[in-house]
Structure 1
Amino acid sequence: MSIKLIAVDLDGTLLSSTNSILPETEKTLKNAISEGIQVVLATGRPLSGVMPFNKQLGLAGNKQYNIVFNGAVIQNLAGDVLMNQEMNYQDFSNMRKLQRLAHVNLHFETPECFWTCDRDLGANLAVNAAMTNNMIKVRRAEEIPQDFAFNKVGFSMTEDVNEVEKLWNNIPEWAFAKYDIVRSFSTNIEINIKDASKGNALMVLADRLKIDQSQVMVFGDQGNDISMFSNPNFKKVAMGNAIELIKDSADYVTDDNDHDGIAKALKKYVL
């Protein structure tokens, strides 16, 4: 099999439960990179939350790429933006309406920082900001300018994870029709502009790099990876800890993220 591009989700896939890249997984990915295979980290995080892992893998410069904000943005590692799909003030208002359906935090993600109108911030939002090296700007709704633009929205629990489930079960049909809505953990809901997804961004990037889709391998575990696993041309590898929908859509199910699942699959099919 001639794989030229490997797209790897971060949380629950590349990263172990201790939020680190296991030594054998790091070594195997570096071997793939040394053989000229493009390794692309594809994540819901902003670029700031990915750069430490790019550095660990030796990825840098304008010939290496990340897919961030669940596919709303493609950037090279020099910081140049190749694709940028944003939401606007009307979308901001729509998200505020959805927030009223449950007792959850709502934040808006931009390349510079996270924004929220919530004064009482749950631990989940604070941890998310810290893990992605982001500042949280708290503003009143009337302080948000009419030209406000953002790439991704996150709803997360304040005190009770059941509130996230309540919101998920009550999101109206108009919202699903207008936005791309996924879950990457039981504690959150993520929203992007329609058609902004990891799968679509990966197709755009592969086309730009003149790589056939049949030469793309993807690794993932959660709901925000489903778009990559919906492409019939990609070679799809589910982690052992993946949700059932990802496993059912995969060509192969490897070991989990705490037992070098990526390394084992690459050794079996690529290296």
Structure 2
Amino acid sequence: MAVKLIAVDLDGTLLSSSNTILPETERTLKEASKQGIKVVLATGRPLSGVMSYNKQLGLSGAEQYDIVFNGAVIQNLAGRVLMNQEMNYRDFNAMLRLQRLSHVDVHFETTKCFWTCDRDLSVQMQINAATTNNVMKVRRREEIPQNFTFNKVSFTSTQGDDQINKLWNTIPDWAFDKYDIVRSFSNTIELDAKGASKGNALTELADRLKINQGKVMVFGDQGNDISMFENPNFKKVAMGNAIEIIKNNADYVTDDNDHNGIAKAVKKFVL
């Protein structure tokens, strides 16, 4: 199979447990890029949270691309937005309704900053802002303008995973019908506009680049990667540390993120 595009999730996939790209994985992806293969980071983070990793891989400019906010936005590495799926003030109020189902915090992510109405920020919310180099704007509900738009929502908790479990088990059907909702980690629930997913965004990007879907290879490990593993045309590689649904939908299971799983699969199937 002549792979033309390699899409990699970030946390738990490209990044090791120490949040670094292992040297062998870096060398392998650089070699793939040198051979003309598009290397695309597909992540729940905003572009600001992945640019340092793009730079490390030697990726830059208007002809390289990232899928961010779990597929709500496609941007080139010069910052231009190619696709943008937003939610609005009505959705903002719906998120506050969901928040009342459990003791959770909620923050709203845009291409410029994060917003929240919560005064006591969970550790995970603080980590999300810090690791993505984003300002967290804390505002009262009445300070949020009615023309407010956002790309992604994250629910976290100051009281641990139990409250995230409670929310996950009580989200009503109307919310699943209206939004794409994923349990990205044990301590985080993420929500995007309906149809906004890594899988759909990757399909859109491949079409824009005139790359056949059968020449796309994807790597992932968690719930927000499932949409990429539902496309029957992609070459799907699960990390050794992936959740079972990812492994069950994969064409191949490679080593984990601490043992160069990406590098081993790319060398086996691509280089």
State whether structure 2 residue 27 is matched by structure 1 residue 20: no
Counterpart mapping for 1:13-92 below 5 A: 13-92=13-92
Counterpart mapping for 1:198-217 below 5 A: 198-217=198-217
Amino acid at match of 1:213: Q
Distance in 2, Cα, partners of 1:10 & 1:21 = 9
Aligned to 1:195: 195
Aligned to 1:265: 265
Aligned to 2:143: 143
Q: What TM-score do you get using the length of structure 1 for normalisation?
A: 1.00
> How many percent identity over aligned positions?
74
State whether structure 2 residue 221 is matched by structure 1 residue 221: yes
Amino acid at match of 1:261: G
Amino acid at match of 1:130: A
State whether structure 2 residue 170 is matched by structure 1 residue 175: no
Cα offset, 1:174, TM superposition: 0.2
State whether structure 2 residue 163 is matched by structure 1 residue 163: yes
Aligned to 1:11: 11
Secondary structure of residue in 2 paired with 1:21: coil
Cα offset, 1:160, TM superposition: 1.9
Aligned to 1:239: 239
Cα offset, 1:72, TM superposition: 0.3
Amino acid at match of 1:237: V
Ranges in structure 2 where 5+ consecutive residues have no aligned partner? none
Distance in 2, Cα, partners of 1:111 & 1:194 = 18
* Alignment root-mean-square deviation, CA: 0.4
Distance in 2, Cα, partners of 1:182 & 1:61 = 31
Distance in 1, Cα, partners of 2:165 & 2:242 = 19
Distance in 2, Cα, partners of 1:238 & 1:144 = 40
State whether structure 2 residue 249 is matched by structure 1 residue 249: yes
Amino acid at match of 2:19: N
Amino acid at match of 1:79: G
Q: What do the CA deviations read for 1:93-127 (whole angstroms, capped 9, x no partner)?
A: 00000000000110000011100000011111001
Q: What do the CA deviations read for 1:148-168 (whole angstroms, capped 9, x no partner)?
A: 000000001212210000000
Distance in 2, Cα, partners of 1:17 & 1:196 = 27
Distance in 1, Cα, partners of 2:255 & 2:157 = 30
Distance in 2, Cα, partners of 1:73 & 1:122 = 25
Distance in 2, Cα, partners of 1:173 & 1:158 = 25
Distance in 1, Cα, partners of 2:146 & 2:184 = 30
Distance in 1, Cα, partners of 2:163 & 2:183 = 14
Secondary structure of residue in 2 paired with 1:11: helix
Tell me the number of residue pairs that the alignment of Structure 1 and Structure 2 aligns: 271
After TM superposition, the runs of 4+ consecutive aligned structure 1 residues lying more than 3 A away are: none
Distance in 1, Cα, partners of 2:72 & 2:29 = 25
Cα offset, 1:16, TM superposition: 0.3
